[in-house]
Amino acid sequence: MDPEALEKAARGSLAEGDVRAVVVDGSAVLRLRDGHLPLMVLDGALGASGMLTLAAGGVLLAFGRSGAAGYALGAGAMLLALFTVLFFALVALTMRPPLEFRPRERAVVWQDVSLPFAEIRPDHLVLRERSLYLQVLLRHPALSRRLAAFSTRERRRAAEFHRLLTEMVSAPDLTPTQRWILGAAAPYGLPHDLPVDRLGTAADRDRAHALLADPWNVDDLDQLLPAVNWLVQDGHRAAFAQDAELAARPDAEREEYARLLREIDVMIAEERMEPPFVERLVELVRVRYGAAGETYARLVPGLLRDEPGADVSPEGAELAVFFGSLFNDRDHAAEELGRLKLLADDPSLRATVGRLLIWDYARALTLYRLGRMADWLTEGYCWDRMLPLAIDVQRRYASWDDLATCYLQGRLLWSGGEDQRRHETAVERLRADPDGPWARVPWDLPLERDWS
């Protein structure tokens, strides 16, 4: 669990000032400084009571009630004295070193005590509610400390902070190969707020279901596995290669394709499927596939009629995917035209379309992770299926930087540039994170099944 996630969970709450994610000796650390909220509340009450009591004594004295005024002034002075003593005690307490959760060392450290994560059970981390606030506590025989305090109106934040902290302590340490696999998936997972230091558990179920619903439209395992298989076997890289070939053709041919694509897109949007729709669609296919256009064009009627076996051949399967996007995705035409312009304007980008497998594989790896988080797949099943994909990725690229470059190019072609900066920022974070998988695991690590 990334310490930044815990700092983010506390942001805007009563605990915000006491929770910090810092880098110590090149490693991310969660630093917790106990704000001593109960004592602060008590000290504030003593100060306020002392001032009110002194004011009451002054009023009594003004009305000639010297005896009662003396008692009130004496009590007020005593309360303010207690306030002062407690105030300086609080100052002294805040001078003590903060407690640190160190994920890389897998230990909690405070002063001379170093408590391994392995010795902390979930019941040692306690979320306790008081009348005015909630506390997250560490209650272990070797170390007992208050970690953070939230107001009673911040129950959800307190529960989220407690959950994330428990996950940090309880998550099993990953093997080198598992870290490598998560590193390969990270360029897609990190922009979607998925952790890079664990596969994921059923505790992430809500987040997983939200991502599976949008953008994947996946509601169950029967939809998940075909989506993974499509990404592995075909994905978008086949369409990228076809678009690159089309973008390299003469301007007149590209313009004819763009005109036909826009015309067909309007006819589909307006549900005008009567003639000359089929004829225009056949012409679009003929232009799209160039020298092989006649072969593809002959398949159009059978695919439109959904004839058995129409999509069995490689050409039929490819054309079926194209039709699926064209008929079901109202943004497809605009996105394809954007891709064609990017490819036509950048010959170097056209030259790399054969190296964009990582765009499909990073998402396939992430879908396996989401399947685990949704509690549809077991952890062992996911690791076993992800390992061959990781080996294939390692074989095709030279380094983490090479993978990152090709991932971003694939993402750019898929999106046309929309929201690209978020993915570029994620890659920058992965390159700079000293505790991230790209820093901790060498690219050329021998990938093998190193887990039990």
Query: Tell me: the pLDDT tens digits for 198-238?
Result: 888 766 788 899 999 988 999 999 999 999 999 999 899 98
Task: List all residues 6 or more positions away from 230 whose beta carbon is below 8 Å from its beta carbon.
Answer: none
Which one has a higher pLDDT value, 177 or 48? 177
Residue 157 corresponds to which amino acid?
R
pLDDT for residue 256: 96
CB of 15 closer than 8 Å to CB of 148: yes
CA–CA distance, 356 with 396 (Å, rounded to integer): 10
CA–CA distance, 18 with 98 (Å, rounded to integer): 9
118: DSSP letter: G
- pTM score of the predicted model: 0.73
Q: For the chain, what percent of residues have pLDDT higher than 70?
A: 94
CB of 378 closer than 8 Å to CB of 206: no
The SS3 call for residue 231 is helix
**Helices and strands of the chain, counted as H and E runs:** 20, 8
Least confident range of 33-42, 106-115, 262-271:
33-42
CB of 284 closer than 8 Å to CB of 261: yes
pLDDT for residue 220: 95
Q: Is the pLDDT of residue 18 over 70?
A: yes
CA–CA distance, 443 with 143 (Å, rounded to integer): 39
CB of 389 closer than 8 Å to CB of 447: no
pLDDT for residue 57: 77
Which one has a higher pLDDT value, 274 or 26? 274
CB of 196 closer than 8 Å to CB of 436: yes
Here the tokens at position 437 are: 């998988």
Listed as own residue / partner, the contacts of 250-259 with beta carbons closer than 8 Å and 24 or more positions apart are 253/287, 254/340, 254/344, 256/287, 257/284, 257/287, 257/288, 257/340, 258/337, 258/340
Q: Is the pLDDT of residue 35 over 90?
A: no
pLDDT digits (tens, 9 = 90+) for 73-126: 888 788 778 777 756 664 555 657 889 999 888 899 988 999 999 899 889 999
Residue 291 corresponds to which amino acid?
A
The SS3 call for residue 306 is coil
For residue 445, which phi and psi values (nearest 5 degrees)? -55, 130
Task: Express the helix, strand and coil content of the chain in percent, nearest 5 each.
Answer: 65, 10, 25
Partner residues linked to 134 by β-bridges: 129, 150
Partner residues linked to 31 by β-bridges: 20, 100
Chain position carrying tokens 């669609």:
281
The SS3 call for residue 148 is strand
What is the full DSSP assignment across 159-210?
HHHHHHHHHHHHSPPPPHHHHHHHHHHHHHHGGGT--SSS---GGGHHHHHH
Please report which confidence band the pLDDT of residue 409 belongs to, taking 50, 70 and 90 as the band edges. very high
Count Cβ atoms below 10 Å from residue 247 Cβ, excluding itself: 21
Chain position carrying tokens 């009673």:
152
